[in-house]
């Protein structure tokens, strides 16, 4: 959608009974959030190539849409469209050139008949009440993106013919088995988070670059060995007790195994491209193992998340230092420990390190420090020292906690981190919230 497109003059969300005159030469019409019950007040130009009706109150389709032979994109997202309302699609021959059809967040209970759309590239029926993928067999084999997240689907089926499919999103359904995907040889992104899957079965697919199986019932990491092109792997909120089957994933940049049952970090020595490693909310007892395991990515690894592990609270004494071996991770620019560690002995020498998060109690840092220290703490001291090593300081009070917020120059510190007790910082797509606000930046609603 073109973000600069303005609503037509004379039409306001408060009133949908005014006639809207459209420039005959216009090719894009955006009627988002006008609370329209129908399109009687809208003059639909035959030259339209994009029609966006997102967030209205439409319960039926205006028959004039059937004659928009130039239409490439049609969005009916967040309306009141049910199965009966989309039944006319199968007879709208003039829309055969349509490439993108969005029916997200409506009242559909089954996959609409879209066989008439011979050139369809994007099909989105997420956030409905669909119980089966029956009907997908009629979708054009030109399809590249299919979104069926947040429904009630129990089985992956009728997608064998989608050889060109690149993105498949089936998160938040009732799937128990990964199956019938062996023909998706061009698939690059597979999102299956929040299902009931127990065993990984990628059906021999080797082109996948992004894969999410968050919030399932996995007990093992076996099954990814052939996914040599994988760049991002999200496995948080499962029951995984051991890291394994990762040695062949040499292109992996992001690995999220947070909120599992891990006691150590293993099998990532070969991951030389690894940049982000999410290990928070596990049972990891030693930081020594982390530094040893990540030796292969010592120059690329920029961020490690270790909050809520025994190594953050129990293993080290009140004023212990972070193990010197972690200093060997040359690319490290942020480490979140949520502990009482001072970190002075090694990190004051590291030119790349941009952030240390130490919560609950402030420890004195050497005046030689030339990186910033981010804190979430009850007692602050040496604020003048922090002023010397930071570009900008904000002090705020939240439930008797004072937060020091440091922002870095984008070129030197591209990743911005926020910790518990603050609101999420959304200045750019790389902002991240931690702790109880833990979210990862992603363009997908459901992982």
Chain segment 188-202, per-residue pLDDT in tens = 999 999 999 999 999
The yes-or-no verdict on residue 177 having pLDDT over 80 is yes
Q: pLDDT by residue (tens digit) across 383-412? A: 333 333 333 333 332 333 333 333 323 333
The share of the chain scoring above pLDDT 70, in percent, equals 62
pTM of the model: 0.75
Q: pLDDT by residue (tens digit) across 406-440? A: 332 333 332 333 333 333 333 333 333 233 222 33
Q: pLDDT by residue (tens digit) across 155-170? A: 999 999 999 999 999 9
pLDDT band at 130 (very low <50, low <70, confident <90, very high): very high
DSSP assignment of 93-153: GGGTT--EEE--SS--SS----TT-TT--EEE--SS-----TTGGGS-TT--EEE--SS--
From 70-84, 164-178, 268-282, the region with the lowest mean pLDDT? 268-282
pLDDT band at 339 (very low <50, low <70, confident <90, very high): very low
Q: pLDDT by residue (tens digit) across 97-117? A: 999 999 999 999 999 999 999
pLDDT at res. 310: 81
DSSP assignment of 196-225: ---S---TT-----EEE--SS-----TT-T
Q: 297: Cβ–Cβ under 8 A, 6 or more apart, which residues?
A: 268, 271, 272, 273, 274, 275, 329, 331
Spatial contact of 71 and 92, defined as CB atoms under 8 Å apart: no
Rounded to an integer, what distance in angstroms lies between the CA atom of residue 105 and that of residue 119?
A: 23
From 235-244, 297-306, 351-360, 389-398, the region with the lowest mean pLDDT? 389-398
Mean pLDDT score, 360-364: 38
SS3 288: helix
Q: Which domains does the chain have, with CATH numbers?
A: 1-217 (3.80.10.10)
The yes-or-no verdict on residue 358 having pLDDT over 90 is no
Instruction: Locate 101 and state its tokens.
Output: 């059809």
pLDDT at res. 233: 98
What single DSSP character describes residue 8? P
Instruction: Locate 158 and state its tokens.
Output: 């009728």
Rounded to an integer, what distance in angstroms lies between the CA atom of residue 37 and that of residue 51?
A: 16
Rounded to an integer, what distance in angstroms lies between the CA atom of residue 226 and that of residue 44?
A: 50
pLDDT at res. 416: 30
Mean pLDDT of the residues in the chain: 74
* Region for residue 338 given its phi and psi (left: phi exceeds 0; alpha: psi -120 to 50; beta: otherwise): left
Instruction: Locate 422 and state its tokens.
Output: 């603050």
pLDDT at res. 292: 66
Residue 125 vs residues 141, 178, 219: alpha-carbon distances, Å: 17, 20, 31
pLDDT at res. 334: 54
Rounded to an integer, what distance in angstroms lies between the CA atom of residue 336 and that of residue 304?
A: 7
Most confident of 38-47, 165-174, 245-254: 165-174
Q: pLDDT by residue (tens digit) across 251-306? A: 999 999 999 999 998 888 888 899 899 999 999 887 766 766 677 776 778 778 88
Q: 9: Cβ–Cβ under 8 A, 6 or more apart, which residues?
A: none
Spatial contact of 13 and 38, defined as CB atoms under 8 Å apart: no
């Amino acid at each position: 959608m073109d973000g600069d497109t303005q609503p037509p003059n004379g039409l306001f969300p408060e009133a949908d009974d005014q006639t809207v005159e459209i420039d005959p030469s216009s090719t894009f019409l955006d009627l988002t959030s006008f609370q329209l019950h129908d399109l009687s007040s809208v003059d639909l130009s035959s030259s339209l190539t994009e029609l966006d009706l997102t967030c209205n109150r439409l319960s039926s389709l205006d028959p004039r849409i059937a004659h928009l032979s130039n239409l490439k994109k049609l969005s009916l997202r967040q309306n009141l469209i049910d199965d009966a309302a989309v039944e006319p699609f199968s007879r709208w021959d003039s829309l055969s050139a349509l490439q993108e059809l969005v029916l997200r967040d409506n009242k559909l209970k089954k996959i609409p008949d879209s066989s008439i759309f011979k050139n369809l590239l994007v099909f989105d029926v997420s956030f409905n009440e669909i119980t089966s993928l029956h009907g997908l067999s009629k979708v054009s084999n030109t399809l590249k993106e299919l979104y069926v997240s947040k429904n009630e689907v129990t089985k992956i089926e009728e997608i064998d013919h989608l050889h060109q499919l690149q993105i498949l999103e089936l998160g938040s359904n009732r799937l128990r088995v990964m199956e019938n995907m062996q023909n998706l040889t061009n698939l690059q992104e597979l999102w299956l988070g929040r299902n009931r899957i127990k065993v990984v079965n990628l059906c021999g697919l080797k082109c996948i670059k992004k894969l999410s199986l968050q919030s399932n019932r996995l007990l093992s990491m076996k099954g990814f060995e052939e996914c040599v092109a994988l760049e991002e792997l999200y496995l948080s909120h499962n029951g995984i007790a051991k890291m394994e089957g990762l040695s062949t994933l040499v292109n992996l940049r992001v690995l999220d195994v947070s909120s599992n049952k891990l006691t150590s970090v293993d099998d990532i020595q070969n991951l030389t491209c690894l940049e982000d490693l999410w290990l928070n909310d596990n049972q990891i007892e030693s930081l020594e193992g982390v530094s040893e395991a990540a030796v292969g990515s010592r120059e690329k690894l920029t961020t490690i998340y270790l909050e809520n592990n025994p190594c953050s609270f129990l293993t080290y004494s009140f004023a212990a230092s972070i193990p010197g071996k972690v200093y060997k991770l040359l690319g490290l620019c942020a480490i979140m420990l949520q502990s009482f560690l001072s970190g002075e002995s090694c990190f004051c020498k590291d030119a790349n390190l941009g952030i240390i998060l130490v919560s609950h109690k402030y420890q004195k840092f050497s005046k030689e420090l030339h990186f910033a220290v981010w804190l979430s703490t009850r007692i602050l001291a040496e604020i003048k020292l922090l002023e010397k090593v930071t570009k900008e300081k904000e002090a705020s009070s939240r439930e008797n906690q004072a937060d020091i917020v440091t922002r870095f120059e984008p070129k030197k510190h591209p990743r911005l981190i926020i910790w518990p007790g603050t609101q999420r910082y959304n200045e750019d797509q790389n902002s991240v919230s931690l702790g109880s606000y833990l979210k990862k930046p992603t363009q997908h609603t459901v992982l």
